[in-house]
Structure 1
Amino acid sequence: MFKRITLVLVAVAVALLSSATAGALTQPDLNEQDREFLRKAHRSNLAEIQAGQAAQEKGASATVRDLGAKIVTDHTKLDSDLRRVAEQVGVDLPKRPSADQRRELEQVTAQSGEDFDRAWLAAQIAGHHRSLANGAEELQEGSSSEVKQLARDARPIVQTHLDMLQKASGG
């Protein structure tokens, strides 16, 4: 009887170890590109949200204020999805935008009126170009299907923002 119980316990332990190993094998295979994409995209989202809030507060034109609101809404959603994936794959994210992003926003918000609008649009156009490049690099070099899907999902949203920003700037 004791041998039978021991045998059952060993079989259960082997089954548990096998399923744990199988689970580990199905975890996403992250490379450094995936990690870097998540960090850069998160920082970009944080910067875009702050910039959008600034546009809502300081924008001289209704167009800039409306674009700011759309950018806040869309980048908040994109970042929520990104944070969920980063948590699933175990990537720690930065707490705030990069020093360059913060400095750029400070320079833009130092402006007022139409000067603010022009500076804000130019900064947003440049930032959205960088976001598209970051996503393209992830699609080319990334290894995690979950992280690559984030880049795929973000691309049309970021492109729409870029198109709207360029139209608003007259370009």
Structure 2
Amino acid sequence: MKKFVVTLFAAAALTACKKNETTTVDRTTESTGVAAPIDSGMPATDTANTSHPTGKMSDLSDQDKKFADAAARGGMMEVMMGKLAETNASGQAVKSLGAMMVTDHTKANDELKAWASAIGYTLPNSLDAEKQKMYDDLKAKKGVDFDKKYTDLMVTDHKKDIAEFKKEASDGKEASLKSFASKTLPTLEHHLKESEKTKNGVK
């Protein structure tokens, strides 16, 4: 009888030990953030979650928000104007420039949207009044007048974009947004060179 009680006690102790081990594993899983999806909405309970590479809404500075909004609207305008150039431009070089803008800025826009979705940030989904007017003015142009206006806008706009992306890359707070800015800069610089070259070729 005594031997049976000892065996029973040993089995109970082993079960409790295994339960503790399982709990420890579960806690470890929680602290690494592996078990919980990024957008679960659960509050962070330890420091491991605060350094997640996709960041959180609380990581965003005013600079980050201002940049993200401007980049979203600017990228949207580039795609819209690029599509206009593909159909309204008279010169083939201008049409090709427009096509490049549509392709590259659509890709960048999608990357920005994916970043925003991951941290729960809402980007603007329409142009502001200033950019809408620029688009409407361009849409009214035809032929060589369109080519001149479009290439001039692309030079001016990309100079502004490059300055904004450089500022975010150096002064931004949220790591993944800074990375997006740095990664996109070479494309914008290429766009500026091509826009200047195409503008010089418009007669």
Which TM-score applies when normalising by structure 2?
0.75
Superposition pairs of residues 18-167 of structure 1, within 5 angstroms: 18-19=31-32, 21-27=46-52, 28=55, 29-167=59-197
Q: How far did residue 96 of structure 1 move?
A: 1.5
CA contact (8 A) 2:77 2:131 kept: yes
**Quick one: distance in 2 between partners of 1:18 and 1:68?**
48
CA contact (8 A) 2:67 2:168 kept: yes
**Quick one: distance in 2 between partners of 1:66 and 1:79?**
20
AA in 2 matched with 1:38: A
**Quick one: distance in 2 between partners of 1:52 and 1:147?**
25
Q: How far did residue 121 of structure 1 move?
A: 0.9
AA in 2 matched with 1:25: T
Secondary structure at 1:111's aligned position in 2? coil
Q: How far did residue 97 of structure 1 move?
A: 2.0
CA contact (8 A) 2:94 2:147 kept: yes
**Quick one: distance in 2 between partners of 1:141 and 1:131?**
15
- Give the RMSD, CA atoms, in angstroms: 2.3
- Label 1:24 to 1:71 Cα distance change in 2 as closer, same or farther (>3 A): same
More helix by percentage: 1
**Quick one: distance in 2 between partners of 1:148 and 1:11?**
36
Aligned residues: percent identity?
A: 26
Q: How far did residue 70 of structure 1 move?
A: 0.5
Query: Which consecutive unaligned segments of at least 5 residues does structure 1 have?
Result: none
- Label 1:12 to 1:164 Cα distance change in 2 as closer, same or farther (>3 A): closer
The structure with the largest alpha-carbon Rg is 2
Q: Which has the higher contact order (CA 8 A, sep 6+)?
A: 1
Q: How far did residue 170 of structure 1 move?
A: 1.2
Secondary structure at 2:90's aligned position in 1? coil
Corresponding residue of 2:42: none
Deviations 1:4-57 (A, max 9, x none): 49x848757755664452442223232221222111111111000000000001
AA in 2 matched with 1:50: M
Aligned length: 170
Q: How far did residue 118 of structure 1 move?
A: 0.5
